Amino acid sequence: MTKQAFGTSHVPLSPAVRAGDFVFVSGQVPVGADGKVVAGGVGPETDQVIANIAAALKLAGCDLSDVVKTTVWLRDRDDFPAFNAAYGKHFPKDPPARSTAESRLMIDIAVEIEAVAYKPV
């Protein structure tokens, strides 16, 4: 199996890596093009995180419809309903399998998401 990394990062990781027919997207955070965390709480943060996942997937020739699994970390379990509403907008049909956990995150954000996509080469 061959492995190919996509994108660049200011930390030692690849935003996305293709391994065979799978694309693994590193945990994405709600940082916009300006390098700042988006304002507005977990809903807007979730939208930005998923936009960042979509951008990483695009580099690997995939899109959100190819996502088969996500792992989500929420800072506060009370954010789950608002998170779920925002997340659901992006996966309206056949949503991916998902794990969600409450966690202390590395920076002051409400949500981080990683994704796995499947798209045969």
Mean pLDDT taken over the chain: 94
pLDDT above 90 as % of the chain? 85
Tell me how far apart the terminal alpha carbons of the chain are, to the nearest angstrom. 12
Q: Span 68-82, mean pLDDT?
A: 98
Give me the residue spans of the domains in the chain: 3-118
The answer to whether 105 and 25 are in contact (CB under 8 A) is no
Residue 19 β-bridge partners: 3, 22
Highest CATH level, class, for 3-118: alpha beta
pTM of the complete model: 0.93
Q: Span 17-23, mean pLDDT?
A: 96
